[in-house]
Amino acid sequence: MTANTIAINQQMDDFDGHHSVWLFGYGSLIYKADFPYLQRQPASISGWTRRFWQGSHDHRGTPQAPGRVVTLIEQTDAICHGMAYLITPEVFAHLDHREKNGYLRLATPITFSDGRSERGLVYIAMPDNAAYLGAASEQAIARHIASSAGPSGPNADYLKLLAHALREMGQSDPHVFAIEQHLADLNHCD
């Protein structure tokens, strides 16, 4: 699949006719809501776990030297915590562009902290997209992140902002926090 997913996402019609849709964010969408929204609240989705396995050619890296950003990987019994935004369909043009580097819209149940659930969507970069980097050790991912930067800034900033946002929400993510620690160790050695 092509790395640019804008046209594919524009064909998704699951929410046609809806005045608003819940969007689940699990990476930079947690801390960088650069779009209008009607409501924002902590939420989670089941059956997925966050991993730094997606390449970023357009934000935290370049086509020649992609950075690493998060995507979701299916995992039975996993719960991924993040932030949900109630948005209007007009926001999709911006989001489809922002998430164009391999991410596809996927309809999914979103669970809120009060226990209620709503059908919404999430952007996920599946393993068959051209920007997918795949699994690596958390130490190797930290080394990769330490040496990557793109138009949106250093890849390390993305990692640090995500880890900080998760802590502010009171959520733990062993994968994210382990990479953050490895990055801190690298910086301490320099």
65 exposure class (CB count in 10 Å sphere: 0-12, 13-18, 19+): middle
| Predicted confidence (pLDDT) per residue in 82-91, tens digit | 999 999 988 9
- % of the chain exceeding 70 in pLDDT: 89
Tokens of 70: 């998060």
The full set of domain ranges for the chain reads: 6-189
Question: Which residues does the annotation mark as catalytic?
Answer: 99
pLDDT at 66 over 60: yes
Query: What's the mean pLDDT when you consider all of the chain?
Result: 91
Reference 180, options 148, 139, 136; nearest CA is 139
Mean pLDDT over 22-51 rounds to 97
- 13-47 as b/e, with b when 16 or more CB fall inside 10 Å? eebeeeebbbbbbbbbbbbeeebebeeeeebbbee
| Predicted confidence (pLDDT) per residue in 158-167, tens digit | 999 999 999 9
Q: Find out whether 39 and 59 touch, Cβ atoms under 8 Å.
A: no
- Cα separation, 147 vs 2, in Å, equals 25
pLDDT at 156 over 80: yes
pLDDT value of residue 72: 98
**Using 50, 70 and 90 to split pLDDT, how confident is the model at 49?**
very high
Residue labelled with tokens 């390449």: 55
| Predicted confidence (pLDDT) per residue in 90-140, tens digit | 898 899 889 988 898 999 999 998 999 999 999 999 999 999 999 999 999
Q: Given 2.60.260.20, 3.10.490.10, 3.30.1330.10, 3.40.50.620, which CATH number is that of 6-189?
A: 3.10.490.10
pLDDT value of residue 15: 56
Give CA separation, 56 vs 59, 130, 151, 175, in Å: 6, 11, 10, 18
